[in-house]
Amino acid sequence: MTSLHADEAFLGHYQFSHDPFAPRVPGFKFFPAQRKPVLGQLHHLARYSQLLLVVTGPEGSGKTLLRQALVASTNKQTVQSVVVSARGAMDAGSLLRQVAQGVSAPQSDIRGIQAQVMQLTLTGQEVYLLVDDAEQLDDSALDALLALATGNAEARPHIFLFGQPALLPRLELLTEGEERFHAIELQPYSEDETAEYLAQRLDGAGQGIDVFTAEQVADIHAQAQGWPGLINQVARETLIEAMLAQRGAARPAGLSLQLPKKHLLALAVVVVAVAAALLMKGRSGTDSAVVPVAQQAPAAAAAGSEAPQGAPEGGPAIEFAGSTQPLPLPLVGEAQPVIRQPLAQVAGQGDGEEASLAEPAETASPTASAVPVPAPAPITPAPTVPPAAPVVAPAVPPVAAAVPAPAPRAPTAAPVQPAAPAVKKPAVAQAPVVKPAPTKPAASGGDWYASQAASHYALQILGTRSEASAQAFVRQQGAGYRYFVKSLQGKPLFVVTYGSFASRGAAQAAIKGLPAKVQAGKPWPRTFASIQQEARSR
């Protein structure tokens, strides 16, 4: 049986419009839990950071779907996305050729690609280079990507790597501890998020989460450990096991043989055919014997009286379920189709379904042969021959027709309750915000940034082209917020930062203490060495 037949049985049993747990399904919606914040962070970093961005997670964590969502959510008029897959390993030459082809660069080297990116920037387009399976890149390809990400003062492509966690130690060795990339690790779903993810997948296929019990959902989450790729695999296996268990429970208790119907029918046909052959052989043996004419009539009459009533003239027949007309038996040795037990179960052949056999060949049953009449005996008296006992052919045991069991009924879908109409909430007037007293913001490129230790960290909050906007943000937030000026694409960019921390861990811990509005912008730690370099290069 082909996998297509198995899929049809699986879809038909649960009345799915398509396989809800296939890698690609029609009308798929991006699941936001644990992934939407990462998507927003990638857009923010692509806009304000000059670092190579790395997204890591184990196999089945949703890296490819996140990459697809990133491409889909960009502005196609201002961003040109180039997607490269490193599957099967890739060196620097192969990688640069694909990138050059994606941006239509005449030369497939770093300098030629950078020149083409600069031309696209002048026309108002940015370049996003996204690499799937990045852990399979060799070191030369990673070096080329780091060089492209550095770019120059005029233009640079935004590079995103999607790979497994083993990629990070290799990048650490290549950068020798310098801050040249930023890593984001994907997190698994919680049990509630797993249930919501399953419900979204099932809803797209026309069913609800009620096809699973609460225990099954918990077991799926435990086996998959919250990773979406494994959730799809375990959920599909759970449904197939439940389908087979339901069909096995519906099997009649009196059926002891664990053979498919086709096997049983083929076995019955062979037995009847062998019995018919023995009957033909026995009758031909009795016809060859010399029997007096006076004794042949009673034997023929006795043979004729043993024929079953209502049997067709063509010979014995067997009836199949669903047919009112008997079919003649096939010839001995005729091949019958065979399907193995597990595949037959998955194909949906339950006890209530009967597969029809191939059209049997017509056979003619033996009829009574004409008995030759011997010549008249000579006049000489012959000794009297005692009458021979009539030969009776062995009776063929009747074969009981296989009675199919009623087919199990498919579960009916629960009625869908109409959604309650949305109630519009009245607008609530917000209280006026009392602004703090204006404070004089730190001047851009002031002595404060230069006085900080290069190894310390600050939290980058936002970047804006308007100095007035940066000053207003600093005045509104109060102490600890400052801004500096850098050059981006030949124009000044005012970058707001917060605090000074001795380590990256301390800076990341401080993010949780920031106001919710500031945290929504996804602040990230960076060294004062990089800030001082950008301020000097302006």
**pLDDT tens digits along 485-532:** 988 767 888 889 999 999 988 998 999 889 988 887 788 888 998 888
490: left (phi over 0), alpha (psi -120 to 50) or beta: left
Residue 27 DSSP class: T
3-state secondary structure 29-52: CCCCCCCHHHHHHHHHHHHHCCCE
User: Cα separation of 28 and 202, whole Å?
Assistant: 11
User: Cα separation of 326 and 319, whole Å?
Assistant: 5
Render 285-300 in DSSP notation, one character per residue.
HHHHS---HHHHHHHH
**pLDDT tens digits along 294-348:** 344 444 444 444 444 444 444 444 443 443 444 444 444 444 444 444 434 444 4
Name the pairing type of β-strands 327-328 and 481-488. Answer: unpaired
User: Cα separation of 414 and 240, whole Å?
Assistant: 20
Return the CATH fold of 36-185. Answer: Rossmann fold (3.40.50)
Two tokens, residue 106: 């005449």
Q: What is the SS3 assignment for 126?
A: strand
Question: Is residue 386 scored above 50 in pLDDT?
Answer: no
Predicted TM-score (pTM) of this structure: 0.49
Q: What is the SS3 assignment for 158?
A: strand
User: Cα separation of 455 and 321, whole Å?
Assistant: 84
Q: What is the mean pLDDT of the chain?
A: 73
CATH match for 447-536 among 1.10.3210.10, 3.30.750.24, 3.40.50.300, 3.30.70.1070 = 3.30.70.1070
Nearest-Å Rg of the Cα atoms of the chain is: 42
Tell me the pLDDT band of 383, cut-offs 50, 70 and 90: very low
Domain ranges (residues) in the chain: 3-26+190-249, 36-185, 447-536
Q: What is the pLDDT of residue 532?
A: 85
